[in-house]
Chains A and B, each alone.
Chain A
Amino acid sequence: MRRLALLLAAAAISRPAFADDVAFSRLADEGSISITAARATRGSGPTATVVIVLENARGDRVFLRRAPVDGGGASYQIWLGGPPGVTFTRRGDTVLVEAGGHSLTIVESEIARPTVACWVATLVSKVEPKLLDVAAGLSLLKEQTGGPPMDDAFLPVRLLWPVAPPSDLRPHGAVRFQKGPFHGEAFDRLAAAATAELGRR
């Protein structure tokens, strides 16, 4: 409870004068797979900053953060433990992939080419070995639902999916996509985590 209060306080400090939108959704099968997403948005259109926090039933979290960059384009971060994880900066048709002090420029449409996939997989797995599995798992689940397609903020997942080995996730029964609102302490914590990342630079 104390941690929640601290998180909420931090989120409140980082909030600008206008309110941030936070929306919830959930992806679950008929077994033990359940992923809750909190999506916090500040601003709108191409200059919006978006943070998505995904949490599984065990409480493991994946963060996605999309923010505009100076000079046009946008940067997309994905991390598991803490930022910065892997950053994708899109300018035109090229994407600069940065992780652990190393970088690689790729042409987005070429991600599925064997060489490009090898290079990206090598870079990402050096820094966040589990990210490829996470991207593959998310994409697999998403594919099985009738929910909306992954939007721009999910760029890292969409780019890592063709690079990742096949997911070993085995959903039981139908996978359903559910939109919020949801209420409760767990959702408040998730919202606070997402909102806190909105203000980070």
Chain B
Amino acid sequence: MKRAAAFAALFLLAAPVSGAGFFDGVPSKGYVIDDVSLDVLSATGGTDPIARLRYVRLSLDPGRRDIAYDFWPQREMLMVERATGEKVILERLLRLQPGADPSAWSPRGRVGLEGSALETFARTAGAQGPCGALDVLIRAGNVDLPVSSGDLSVRTVRLGVAQAVETAVSERGRELVASAVPILFAATTKGLPAPPLDMLNLLFPGRAFARSAEGLTFRQSAGAPLDPAGGAWRSVTSAPLMLPGTPVF
């Protein structure tokens, strides 16, 4: 653990690789494309849900009208709230417009927990320096780890990423993510998409998450949907303004 902390400190010190926050520059208003809320029931757990889920896909308003609606950026939010009240969100950003500098990092995926987060960024062009050719950035807490997408299976890289994640996210937080995975995979049969789960391969290299969940059933959520702008969710993500329908102009 001491070694992991030292490792993380290295990149904390070394890396004003990207000073921007994950949601900086991401449109904060979106129109709802998909919205599914489910209660998760366990065969052994009675009628009370063991977890609640909400999946929202938004078409983000880029704030300009020279981009056709079909090409607007999108944001996927996959929220899980356990019966204990613990929260985790998996998010994905798609079709973000490239900025003026193609070597700048652009946000891609995020796992949010109360008090910590793991984030991924990408860029389409290299930069100067010994790390300039690397095209993926993993931000674990306040640590930046640049990585080449061609090196994700390299042992050193897997070990380094795992150490950084271990340092940034508590053991309980990691358990929370791990226990959400089989639920989310099971929920794909109810219309929830699997792609947001892909980022776990990058953030937890080598970890074999259990995918099958025995005795889980789902029902349409009867209560108010999980609200990313409400209560403790505000410490888990940056909630967008979610509007129904499509823009008039």
Interface residues of A (CB under 8 A from B): 96, 101-107, 110, 113-119, 121-123, 125-126, 163, 165
Contacts and interface: CB of A to CB of B under 8 A. Distances in A.
Interface in B1-54: 3, 6-7, 9-11, 13-15
Contact of A121 (B15, B130, B150, B156): B130
Interface residues of B, number: 24
Contacts of B160: 104-105, 119
B85 to A, nearest CB: 37
A195 B134 CA distance: 43
B13 A116 contact: no
B249 to A, nearest CB: 46
A84 B228 CA distance: 50
Given A101-B6, A115-B148, A122-B11, A106 B156 contact: yes
Contacts, number: 75
B154 interface: yes
A114 B3 contact: no
B146 A115 contact: yes
B134 A114 contact: yes
A105 B15 CA distance: 18
B14 A122 contact: yes
A44 B197 CA distance: 54
A101 B9 contact: yes
B151 A123 contact: no
Contact of A105 (B13, B130, B151, B159): B159
A1 to B, nearest CB: 44
A114 B10 contact: no
Nearest to A117: B130
B6 A116 contact: no
A116 B156 CA distance: 7
A119 B11 CA distance: 8
A194 to B, nearest CB: 30
A9 B159 CA distance: 46
A113 B130 contact: no
A84 to B, nearest CB: 14
Contacts of A117: 130
Given A115-B151, A118-B130, A126 B157 contact: no
9 contacts: A102-B6, A104-B7, A110-B156, A115-B154, A118-B146, A119-B160, A121-B131, A125-B130, A165-B130
B3 A113 contact: no
Given A101-B9, A103-B10, A114 B155 contact: no
Interface string B119-137: 0000000000011011000
A123 B148 CA distance: 17
Contacts of B157: 110, 113, 115-116
A105 B150 CA distance: 19
B147 interface: yes
B134 A126 contact: no
A122 B10 contact: yes
A117 B156 CA distance: 11
A102 B9 contact: yes
A163 B133 CA distance: 13
Contacts of A110: 154-157
A107 B130 contact: no
B81 to A, nearest CB: 36
Contact of A114 (B9, B15, B133): B133
